[in-house]
Amino acid sequence: MIAIPGNVRVWLATGHTDMRRGFPSLARLVQETLKRDPHAGDLYVFRGRRGDLIKIIWHDGQGACLFTKRLERGCFVWPSLADGVVTVSVAQLSYLLSGIDWRMPQATWRPQASG
């Protein structure tokens, strides 16, 4: 598990992104489209066309990080294009990475029955 500071902002880029992109071209997308600084320490999350793959870029102060996750089943819950850029908390990002609907985690999470 990679420790992400609790005070970091997490930005979801709505729509889909070409998942062949690496850190440099995703960082350029952050600058040009989101009008943000990709080296400021925030996390920027991008989703592929099929919805089962996301990439996250983050500059941790020492270097550029690129994280990728693909779901074996299902798709990542993603905001609509009309939403523009969406910010979420680190906790909501954790739900997103687990394949849980980050907008309503209580509605989708079910505790395991004991016994």
Residue 22 in any domain: the answer is: yes
The verdict on residue 4 lying in a domain is no
Q: For residue 48, is pLDDT > 80?
A: yes
pLDDT tens readout for residues 50-109: 999 999 999 988 999 999 999 998 889 888 776 667 889 888 888 888 888 887 766 544
Q: How many domains, in total, are found in the chain?
A: 1
Residue 82 lies in a domain: yes
> How many angstroms separate the CA atoms of 21 and 2, rounded?
22
- Domain-embedded: residue 68: yes
Residue tagged 């920027």 (tokens): 44
Residue 86 lies in a domain: yes
The range of the structural domain enclosing residue 48 comes to: 10-105
In a domain, 114, yes or no: no
Sheet harboring 43-47: ordered strands across? 64-70, 53-59, 43-47, 10-13, 85-88
